[in-house]
Structure 1
Amino acid sequence: MSGDNSANERAGDEAVSRFVERFAAELTEAGMQRMAARVFAALLSSEKGSMTSAELGEQLRISPAAVSGAVRYLSQVDMVSRERDPGSRRDRYVLHNELWYETFTRRDQLLTRWEKALRDGAATLGPDTAAGARVTQTAEFFGFLQHELEGMMDRWRVYREERGIPAP
């Protein structure tokens, strides 16, 4: 019987690995660095949402340097944080709570800055020029996105509450 359990565990591990690689490929296609995408997908699919460098290296079959570089990137974009295991010198990499909500909230702030810069540029270029009209249209687009994103985030909170989806 124990042979059956280890075979089931291996099949489960292989399925998780296939998911990690598939999702990482999607993130890479969207512009994320490949190794960071793999580390992020591994953390996302881990039971606790956190792993040590050694665990990440073993699961992904990558070097400690590759883990370090990926985690540095993920930390810079506020997708993970570093914590110490109590009573240990080992770092544990942890997904942020409400990761996607926070990510899109930061996008909202970015859209605000871009819209302002574009409106300033449109004023500089002049409303009667082709360049000014293009920049104005782009500013309007970012303003629209920002407004829609705010409403979407509000709807997400209601949706989550209605379905009993716990906040992380």
Structure 2
Amino acid sequence: MPGGRLTLDERRAIEAGIAEDLGYAQIARQIERPTSTVTREVVRNGGARGYRAEHAQTATHDRARRHGVDRADVAEASEVSALQPELDAFTDLLVATGLPRTASRVLVALYTTESSNLTARDLVAGLGVSAASISKAVGFLEAGGLVQRDVDAGTRRERYGLGDDIWEQSWAASRRANELWAIGAAELAGRYPESSRVRRRFEEAAEFFERLSRQMAGGPGPAVEPGLAETLKALARGGAPLTASQLEAALTPQQRRVLAGDSARS
């Protein structure tokens, strides 16, 4: 099989294969390239619906110019993103916070494609998992407000993408989940006698989630206030715990003015 960067003719063949609804493996055999090469090419350049040969060719040359190197004679495998270790680490971080691994991989895949939306076939081929796993992962992310599901009017295929207000939607979904926790716990608490320890546990859970839901009702809070940011910087520079006078001494005159302005506004 040939090595090096994909040619424009090969990219046109990929675009034609997608239009004919061919699988990535079949397209790869036609142009005598590894399936992974075709999969990476399509996912990197807009997914199955958004892939255009000329655009992909231009984007590849642009990437090469930005990196200041000529990759014409470099094997396709060497074009794998240098950020992959960091992306894998970020995926592991999402898993550590409680997100299922496949859902984490789907979210990272959507975040790192320029079009920010992919089909199930794109994800199956790119992640090497089953269609059922993708469907389950997308359902989990959709329930959390992290992914939006649309249907392509032309092909009737589902496309999964990131909305412009993804984090606002996620926040709202989290608040709704807390409300349901509070309602469910309160209902169960009422089923037990007042003297029951089980009742008290459910009451505590209901109180906690009801309070959390109220606190989230106003939406995500603003960024850290400038004065607070300056205070935190001073604390970080101090290393050890500081008294009020030591903190004031650690601040620059400009930082003191910022803090004074924040105090006046409050």
Letter paired with 2:208? F
TM-score by length of 1: 0.68
- For 2:108, the equivalent position in structure 1 comes to 41
Q: How does 1:68-87 map to 2 (within 5 A)?
A: 70-75=137-142, 77-83=144-150
Distance 1:86 1:109, change over 3 A: closer
The Cα shift of 1:43 comes to: 0.6
Supply the RMSD in Å over aligned alpha carbons: 3.4
Contact 1:53–1:64 (CA under 8 A) maintained in structure 2: no
What is the CA–CA distance in structure 2 between the aligned matches of 1:128 and 1:27, rounded to whole Å?
41
Distance 1:148 1:13, change over 3 A: same
What is the CA–CA distance in structure 2 between the aligned matches of 1:87 and 1:99, rounded to whole Å?
26
More helix by share: 1
Q: How does 1:84-123 map to 2 (within 5 A)?
A: 91-123=158-190
Q: Which has the larger radius of gyration?
A: 2
Percent identical: 25
What is the CA–CA distance in structure 1 between the aligned matches of 2:203 and 2:135, rounded to whole Å?
42
- For 1:13, the equivalent position in structure 2 comes to 81
SS state at 2:190 partner: helix
Runs of 5+ consecutive residues of structure 1 not aligned to the other structure: 160-168
SS state at 2:148 partner: strand
1:120-149, Cα deviation, whole Å (9 max, x unpaired): 222221333222222211111111111122
Contact 1:125–1:131 (CA under 8 A) maintained in structure 2: yes
Q: 1:155 aligns with which of 221, 232, 251?
A: 221
The Cα shift of 1:25 comes to: 1.4
Contact 1:51–1:94 (CA under 8 A) maintained in structure 2: yes
Distance 1:32 1:47, change over 3 A: same
